[in-house]
Amino acid sequence: VTAVAVIAGGVGAARFLAGLVEVVDPSGITAIVNVADDLELHGLSISPDLDTITYTLAGAIDPERGWGLAGETWAAMDELGSLGGPSWFSLGDRDLATHLYRTGRLRSGATLTEVTAELTAARSLRLTVLPATDDEWRTRVTVSTAAGEHSSDTTHQHTEEISFQEYFVGRRHAVPVRNVRFAGDPTPAPGVLEALEAAEVIVIAPSNPIVSIEPVLAIPGIREAVAARRDQVVAVSPIVAGAALKGPADRMLAELGHEPTVMGVARLYASFAATLVVDDADDALAPAVEALGVRCVVCPTVMHGPSEAATLARAVLEAAAVDPGRRR
Amino acid sequence: VTAVAVIAGGVGAARFLAGLVEVVDPSGITAIVNVADDLELHGLSISPDLDTITYTLAGAIDPERGWGLAGETWAAMDELGSLGGPSWFSLGDRDLATHLYRTGRLRSGATLTEVTAELTAARSLRLTVLPATDDEWRTRVTVSTAAGEHSSDTTHQHTEEISFQEYFVGRRHAVPVRNVRFAGDPTPAPGVLEALEAAEVIVIAPSNPIVSIEPVLAIPGIREAVAARRDQVVAVSPIVAGAALKGPADRMLAELGHEPTVMGVARLYASFAATLVVDDADDALAPAVEALGVRCVVCPTVMHGPSEAATLARAVLEAAAVDPGRRR
């Protein structure tokens, strides 16, 4: 296999890609990355998923936090806090350089695709990292809030629509989600549809189906391009034994009416992915997944480190190559 | 004296104000600060003169450099340089917090006046620091450049118009200046005209007459408001013995056809300042200054530290109070 496209969110996708570059020549890999949880803060353009992938593949990610740079310092944030500024979204001093670079280039007319290519080249990455779109495209989350202060009707359901990062970081994804939508009028970034057409294998990375994978697919043209290659599409379930390894994907699936298991993932992906890779822990659900018309491959999917990520990447590529009936 | 307005640039004005707050209750002092050398860089709104004054009065300025914060770190700049980003304009990690705060507030609709009040309050300053205008107002400098590469006519004069900071920092003010203009359509910020009207003394701080003082006066309404109070206006010459204590004021005066001495300063200021304070070193020029209809007060003006600044501030306030004929 020499041409692989990976539809990617943040941490889970980054870890998978770190394994994939060990088993496929990176020059044949294109990561198509969610940008719907990007934000503008302090005037800076921040792209968390692009940065998590770039930092991880550069070996520069902080391994404890899973985001930001290792060995980071926090002088700017500390000072901003003492000035009374908003410090709910932590930006390390060296991480700030990425946002300063990106923002300056965008303001001078560069596209996010161009800036991302420059930032990945600066960190000597050999794979292609593409934002899914160069256009503004933002996840909006409707969450439940406490009953209004002035309302005596405490049974009345109050909701509020907030940005993804307000939900995810600001409220530590601890509030119930009632709805998710994406705001904007985007087109796929240059190279995205071409990479999906040229790929021998398209991987749906183990990322949140609702807020990482769906906002990529929801860009007009991308879901159709992926579905047109359904037989070559292998998804990796981000849900293991009914729980997300990281983040609120399990709770979010349930809150939005999906089964928070590999079955829920299989139903969401069945129309465009012929194969679903699930963890050994979900072996018993494989027949039910296959009953949906989705080939189910069972193998270890939890990536504690690069070698497990490489093993998973190898299994995913093999899954794409196997006969429809076969599974481990 | 309880109400003093100071028209201010950067370092020289900041040092003078640090002396003034020692001799007048700070709550009666309004600094009206040049913003025409502000810049947008990396998407951030940077106001060098406002920050130099704020940091100096907070006792937080780096005493060696004369700009930025003491004890600063440079992780973001170092990283930006390694990413290939523009690092010609140095921004320390803690200094960045000021720009992040300002930019975020401006983007959310606050005025520069409001943001400046918040930033000075956060640093516990008791004087009022006002930007001269809340509007975009930018110094543009036409400089001489080397003859074009493809021109055989080496005697032909090539010029280029650049921003103030490109001239001042980017080219280290080492290129000849052919013209200075201010771009924009500004009105005085709220409180500026009121402070000039209410002041018992208006001080023109020892700042660059061309690129610090003039861009404040050139905002429609301000020069007239100052001139209307001419008898109460005391200017401090930034030129001592034919040289600027800091920066390119002397060379710039000469390049633009002004005498680079206290006489050149007196001619520029005569229409709106009844009194000019010059250094002991320029004692011999006092009669010539007075011949222009400008009262000349001679005293030490070089501020090596806060006590000298306080002494100068006291002399300036006394100069405003003396009879027209008297000088030391």
Q: How many CB pairs under 8 A join A and B?
A: 116
pLDDT at A19 over 90: yes
Length of chain B counted residue by residue: 328
Beta bridge partners of A7: A32, A204
CA-based nearest residue in chain A for residue B117: A83
Alpha carbons B36 and B165: distance in angstroms, whole number: 10
- The pLDDT value given to residue B300: 96
- Best residue in B78, B88, B91, B94 for a mutation probing chain A (most A CBs within 10 Å): B94
The pLDDT assigned to A235 comes to 98
* pLDDT surpasses 70 at B150: no
* Strand partners for B184: B137
- Would an 8 Å CB–CB cutoff place A94 in contact with chain B? yes
Per the CB < 8 Å rule, is A97 touching B80? Answer: yes
**Helices marked H in chain B:** 11-23, 48-57, 75-82, 93-107, 112-122, 164-165, 192-198, 214-217, 222-227, 249-255, 262-269, 286-291, 306-321
Between CA A95 and CA A107 the distance in angstroms is 19
pLDDT digit string (tens) for B86-127? 989 999 999 999 999 999 999 999 999 999 999 999 999 999
pLDDT of residue B147: 52
Nearest CA in chain B to A93: B76
At B2 the three-state DSSP class reads coil
Q: Which residues of chain B make contact with A73, given a CB cutoff of 8 A?
A: 73, 75, 93
List CB contacts (< 8 A) between A79 and chain B. Answer: 93-94, 96-98
User: Helices H, strands E: what count in chain B?
Assistant: 13, 14
> How high is the pLDDT of residue A95?
98
On whether any CB of chain B is under 8 Å from the CB of A311, the answer is no
Distance from CA of B102 to the nearest CA of A (A): 8
Half-sphere exposure of B196 (CA within 13 A, CB side): 29
Q: Is the dihedral of CA B155, B161, B167, B173 positive or negative?
A: positive
Check CB contact under 8 Å for A44 and B41. no
pLDDT value, residue B6: 98
- In the predicted model, is pLDDT for residue B326 greater than 60? no
Which residues in chain B are closer than 8 Å to A39, comparing Cβ atoms? Answer: none
User: Taking chain A, what is the end-to-end CA distance rounded to the nearest angstrom?
Assistant: 20
pLDDT digits (tens, 9 = 90+) for A266-290: 999 999 999 999 999 999 999 999 9
**A154-158: average pLDDT:** 67
- CA–chain centroid gap for A297, Å, is 21
Q: B43 — contact with chain A (CB < 8 Å)?
A: yes
CA dihedral B286, B288, B292, B295 (to 10 degrees): 10
Query: What's the angle, vertex CA A37, arms to CA A207 and CA B39, rounded to 5?
Result: 145
pLDDT higher than 50, residue B261: yes
Q: Could you please report the per-residue DSSP string of A65-104?
A: TSSSBTT---HHHHHHHHTT---SS---HHHHHHHHHHHH
Cβ pair A80:B97 closer than 8 A? yes
Q: How far apart are CA B228 and CA B258, in angstroms?
A: 25
Q: ipTM of this model?
A: 0.91
**Average pLDDT for A46-52:** 98
Size (chain A), residues? 328
B40 vs A contacts (CB less than 8 Å): 107
Nearest to B307 by CA among B13, B5, B4, B21: B21
pLDDT tens readout for residues B210-234 = 999 999 999 999 999 999 999 999 9
% of chain A residues with pLDDT over 70: 94
Residue B40 sits at the chain A interface (C-beta within 8 Å): yes
Lookup: tokens for B265: 């300063």
Residue B63: band (very low, low, confident or very high) from pLDDT cuts 50, 70, 90: confident
> Which residue from A257, A225, A261 is spatially nearest to A242, judged by alpha carbons?
A261
Q: pLDDT tens across A93-108, in order?
A: 999 999 999 999 999 9
Question: How far is it, in rounded angstroms, from Cα A191 to Cα A33?
Answer: 12
Among candidates B85, B106, B122 on the partner chain, residue whose Cβ is nearest the Cβ of A97: B85
Instruction: Report the alpha-carbon distance of residue A29 to residue A191 in Å, rounded.
Output: 12
Phi-psi region of A286 (alpha: psi -120 to 50; beta: other; left: phi over 0): alpha
Of A76, A98, A103, the CB nearest to B94: A76
Restricting to B residues 98-117, those with a Cβ less than 8 Å away from any Cβ of A are: 98, 100-101, 103-104, 106-107
Helix (H, G, I), strand (E, B) or coil at B160: strand
Mean local confidence (pLDDT), A52-81: 95
What does the pLDDT read at residue B162? 95
Residue given tokens 């940005």 in the structure block: A163
Across the range A83-96, mean pLDDT stands at 96
Q: Are B116 and B130 in contact (CB under 8 A)?
A: yes
Output the pLDDT for position A327: 45
What CA–CA distance (Å, rounded) separates A213 from A132? Answer: 10
Q: Which residue of chain B comes nearest to A45, CA vs CA?
A: B43
Q: What residues of chain A lie within 8 A of the CB of B106, using their CB? A: 43
Q: Provide, rounded to the nearest whole percent, the portion of chain B with pLDDT above 90.
A: 88
Average pLDDT over residues B31-47: 98
Given a cut of 50, whether residue A325 has pLDDT beyond it is: no
**Inter-residue contact B279 to B237 (CB < 8 Å):** yes
Average confidence score pLDDT of chain B? 94
pLDDT the model gives residue B328: 43
Comparing B147 with B97, the larger pLDDT belongs to B97
Q: For residue A101, which residues of chain B lie inside 8 Å, CB to CB?
A: 42, 80, 83-85
B174 phi-psi bin (left φ>0, alpha ψ -120 to 50, beta other): alpha
